[in-house]
Chains A and B, each alone.
Chain A
């Protein structure tokens, strides 16, 4: 399924009535089965864009168009930065949640959830609770939970930001493997350029707040990719190319923050 952002604006209203523009006209199309990453300086509204696509936040103006065969599936599912697992539910019941609220019969939803738990490599942990798992394992549950509803588009909001560097590296490879198996349309928000390049077909560089699309870069490295790519000098050069584009925006965003004392 294709997703198209058409001139999406978002303005937040502060409690004192002042308006803070977060997105100033985002135009972007994500093709079916494409993996697209959004990178940008802190506070550029990339997570806001994701929440709008998820239907969790209405745009102030503009629209998001989903086009293609949904086949009765939900349009989107979200993987959250802080996992957002239900602490009172076991791994299996967390993964089955989306099917449960859709009224799928118990036996069927547990069977499907168990298959996804296996797919993300958590066999044997089905009846554990989230607090008994490591951060990396929790986010695997978060990914399985989103995939379990078989969404047409998978939205990932800095899914690896809360994890340590080694775990992050391992999960990047897992995400790559899962994507190659499912070929979902993915919109992936991150502040990590290497991660974006390693995973994506295209990387979208956003401007500082209020966010808009600054540049879209197709990633030239063929799939299937392995971690050997990370040691490729071309990979480093390409990442640096993105960082150059991002740097002045990030610097300006940082200085603006210092300038008026408001949070980015």
Chain B
């Protein structure tokens, strides 16, 4: 038999490529809507008792009632004041302590072991102590949030400042920058992206701690509303308050992202 030269033919054909991110908005919206619809159907037709899981429409009606009756705004205001004060206090002190510890070896030697020892403590465990010191009022709740916000910001600021490209520091010094200017004009701007990671963690921590603190020692706020509604088996109200928390979390993330885009310049986002 004549040996026939075997020929391999490989054809690489064009294939329609899915546009990048092609499954974007439609699936995202459907995912959320699907769960809500399934929940509604389950609650209305599936025989799940409303006291365990009221349908989303009932939660929405409840939320509307809380908004028009003013209860929503009262709890929201109480929680927001605590969050904002605690967050600003904690991040402010965190930035200062982180900066000083990053630029001064002495401060680093003082601060580092303290942070390492206290960082792992679940901050809510400090609330009884803070109540003892500061009373049951607003101060103890603001303080526990501030402590929670402090750590990720201090650690992020330290890491960011230490991670500054040494060439940038050299360039600044060679152009005549003072040690103080090196910090304000080079190290801090260079650290901003890492600092913002700390801010985002601090925001999440603030939300977590405000709810916990309000459940333990408060007569107002979203956390209190949730606990109180649970005690009275007002499940719709409980869920309405959780929806509010979810909205707060999403809004704080968006807010910080918008701020970051405004403040962190010169890098592709």
Min CB–CB distance B176 → chain A (angstroms): 5
Determine if A131 and B176 form an interchain contact, defined as CB atoms under 8 angstroms apart: no
User: Which residues of B (161-211) have their CB < 8 Å from a CB of A?
Assistant: 165, 167-168, 170-178, 181, 185-186, 189-190, 192
Quick one: which of A66-97 are within 8 Å of B by CB?
74, 76-78, 80, 82, 84-90, 97
Number of B interface residues in the complex (CB < 8 A): 23
* A117 CA / B204 CA spacing, docked (Å): 44
For residue B265, CB closer than 8 A to chain A, the reply is yes
In the complex, are the beta carbons of B168 and A86 less than 8 A apart? yes
Asked whether B267 lies within 8 Å of A87 as measured between CB atoms, the reply is: yes
Quote the shortest CB–CB distance from B127 to chain A (angstroms).
39
Decide if B264 is an interface residue (CB 8 Å cutoff): yes
Interface of A is mostly: loop
Give residues 28-46 of B contacting A (CB, 8 Å): none
* B189 adjacent to A86 (CB under 8 Å): yes
State whether B171 touches A84 (Cβ < 8 A): yes
Determine whether A102 belongs to the interface, using a CB cutoff of 8 Å to chain B.
yes
The reply to whether B176 and A149 contact each other, CB–CB distance below 8 Å, is yes
Closest to A145 in B: B175
B113 at the interface (CB under 8 A from A): no
* A106 smallest CB distance to B (angstroms): 14
Instruction: Tell me, yes or no, whether A130 is within 8 Å of chain B by CB.
Output: yes
Q: Does A98 contact B (CB under 8 A)?
A: yes
Task: Determine the residue in chain A with the shortest Cβ distance to B167.
Answer: A84
Given A89-B266, A90-B266, also A84-B175 (CB < 8 A):
no
B266 and A101 contacting across the interface, CB-CB below 8 Å: no
Is A228 among interface residues, defined by CB-CB distance under 8 A? no
Question: Does A239 lie at the interface of the complex (its beta carbon under 8 Å from any beta carbon of B)?
Answer: no
Asked whether A101 lies within 8 Å of B178 as measured between CB atoms, the reply is yes
Q: Do residues A86 and B265 form an inter-chain contact, with CB atoms below 8 A?
A: no
* In contact, B266 and A74 (Cβ under 8 angstroms): no
- Chain B residues with CB below 8 A from A100, complex form: 185
* A115 lies within 8 A of chain B by Cβ: no
In this assembly, does B268 line the interface, its C-beta being within 8 Å of a C-beta of chain A? yes
Does A216 sit at the interface, judged by CB under 8 A?
A: no
- Contact indicator B185/A101 (Cβ below 8 Å): yes
B: which residues have CB within 8 A of A? 165, 167-168, 170-178, 181, 185-186, 189-190, 192, 264-268
Q: Which residues of A contact B (CB under 8 A)?
A: 51, 54-56, 74, 76-78, 80, 82, 84-90, 97-98, 100-102, 129-131, 145-146, 149
A-B contact pairs, 20 of them (CB 8 A): A76-B174, A77-B175, A80-B167, A80-B171, A84-B167, A84-B168, A85-B171, A86-B168, A86-B266, A88-B266, A97-B177, A97-B185, A101-B175, A101-B177, A129-B266, A129-B267, A131-B266, A131-B268, A145-B171, A149-B175
